[in-house]
Structure 1
Amino acid sequence: MIGLVITQIAVIALFLILGWAVRFKKAYWLISGFALRPEEEKETLIENRYPQKIGSLLIGTAIGMLVFLPLSFTEFRFGTEAQFGFMLVVLFGGLIYLSRYEVPAKRKRSYIFAIILAIVTLGPLVYLTVSSHKGYEMALAEDSFEISGMYGDEWDYEDIQSVQLLEEMPEVTWRQNGIGLPTLAQGHFKVTRYGSSLLFIQKDHTPILYIKLKDEQIFVNSKDSAETQSWYEELKKEVE
């Protein structure tokens, strides 16, 4: 939590400093590619107030993120997503809008580049966010069990070495390859005393079902504690 807040504050401070330097100190060289442009283009852009507006965009983005920052200290679970979502939308939307102040010969190309950049960046993020919020489901078949959704798979009962029902989730130290949201952890994470593990965890919900396989270990639970208990009882029968 503290590390995330420090990161948020650092990003806000960076945008404020860069925006201030560009907008008020004319440090236009901080804008990507500006220093390499011909002098004639630089003069046209400055006359159109393009670099100044870039500075204002950065400052406005920082102020907006600062407004969202207090959400991180409330019970609202999606404060971080809201803050960084605002940042991305404003930045890319602003860059698309500011393409109108480009030099005429490069204006159309600037529009196209900004739109493509926004789609390439925001598209996968939106997909991952939507997919992760769909969560996962666990199904028990005759010879195997399956967990659906991202990072899901199917495992044979014969590969299970043991199952345990834990009262709480062990400490997760870092994410290796997965999705970590305020309400959900899904994917590969390092877990204290267990090492690399596959998590399908609805946060703030217990108990936790721990499944030790031959080559893998899984932590999974449901928002419904009775359903998690049922999974445990069914799997326990298969390994006895």
Structure 2
Amino acid sequence: MMLLIGIQLFIIALFSVLGWAIRYKKVYELISGFAGRSEEEKAELIRNGYPQKNGTLLLLTATGMLLLLPLSFTSFTFTMEVQFGFMLIFLMGGMIYLSRYEVPRKRKRSYWISSILMIAVFALIGGLTFIGYQKNELIVSNDSFKITGMYGDTWDKDKIETVKLLDEMPEVTWKINGFGLSTKAKGVFKVKDYGRSLLFIKKESPYIYVKVEGQHLFINGGSPEETRLWYEELTD
């Protein structure tokens, strides 16, 4: 939780400083590609208000994220999705809107590039979210157990060192390589007191902890009953 809040505060501060420098100190070179423009184009863009509005866009994005920050201290489930979703939509939508202040001969191209980029980014995020939310199954056989889906693998049962049913999930401190949202975590994460671990969990207890071949695994099912059934199958 504190790490997520820290990341948000860093982004808010970064956007605020950049927006202030561009909007009020006229450091227009902070805008991507502005420094490489001809002097004529720079002057025209400034007359159109293009760089100034870029600064305003960053300031408004920072303000919106700051207003949403208190959600982190509530029980609202989808805090991270709302906060970073707002940032992406507002920023990328703003870039499409700002294309109207481009120099006339580049206006249409800027509009299409910004629009296509926004579609591509949201298609990628949507695809990854869909794949990440697919359920992982724990399949136990006589001599092995298998976790299906993204990041899944197969392990020998006789190499299991520990199996525990936990009422609470240990603190997840860092994502190394995986899919992590407010309600779900899948992939490789750092877990307090366990170190590098492979997670297949959603925010609902209990959780199964397995140590196999020196690797730490955490998994739970679609319901508490299913999780307990998996635990019984592993310990049978």
CA-CA distance at 1:80 after TM superposition: 1.9
Mapping for residues 130-209 of structure 1, pairs under 5 Å = 130-141=130-141, 144-206=144-206, 208-209=207-208
Structure 1 counterpart SS, 2:132:
helix
Mapping for residues 65-76 of structure 1, pairs under 5 Å = 65-76=65-76
Question: What's the CA shift string for 1:152-176, capped at 9, x where partnerless?
Answer: 2344545544433234333433222
CA contact (8 A) 2:169 2:205 kept: no
Change (3 A) 1:172 1:61: closer
Q: Distance in 1 between matches of 2:12 and 2:172?
A: 27
Report the more deviating stretch, 78-87 or 183-192. 183-192
RMSD, aligned CA: 2.3
Structure 1 counterpart SS, 2:35:
helix
User: TM-score normalised to the size of structure 2?
Assistant: 0.87
CA-CA distance at 1:231 after TM superposition: 1.0
Report the more deviating stretch, 83-92 or 131-140. 131-140
Question: What's the CA shift string for 1:34-78, capped at 9, x where partnerless?
Answer: 122111101111121111221221122122212211111111021
Report whether the alignment pairs 1:118 with 2:121: no
Equivalent in the alignment of 2:11 = 11
CA contact (8 A) 1:96 1:115 kept: yes
User: Between the two proteins, what is the percent identity of the paired residues?
Assistant: 56
Structure 2 counterpart SS, 1:76:
coil
CA contact (8 A) 1:205 1:222 kept: no
Question: What's the CA shift string for 1:138-165, capped at 9, x where partnerless?
Answer: 3345654332332123445455444332
Structure 2 counterpart SS, 1:130:
helix
Structure 2 counterpart SS, 1:118:
helix
Q: Distance in 2 between matches of 1:6 and 1:20?
A: 21
Question: For this pair of structures, how many residues does the alignment match?
Answer: 236
Equivalent in the alignment of 2:226 = 227
Moved over 4 A (4+): 141-144
Structure 1 counterpart SS, 2:111:
helix
Structure 2 counterpart SS, 1:16:
helix
CA contact (8 A) 1:205 1:223 kept: no
Equivalent in the alignment of 1:78 = 78
Unaligned runs of 5+ in 1: none
Unaligned runs of 5+ in 2: none
CA contact (8 A) 1:12 1:65 kept: yes
Q: Distance in 1 between matches of 2:173 and 2:68?
A: 27
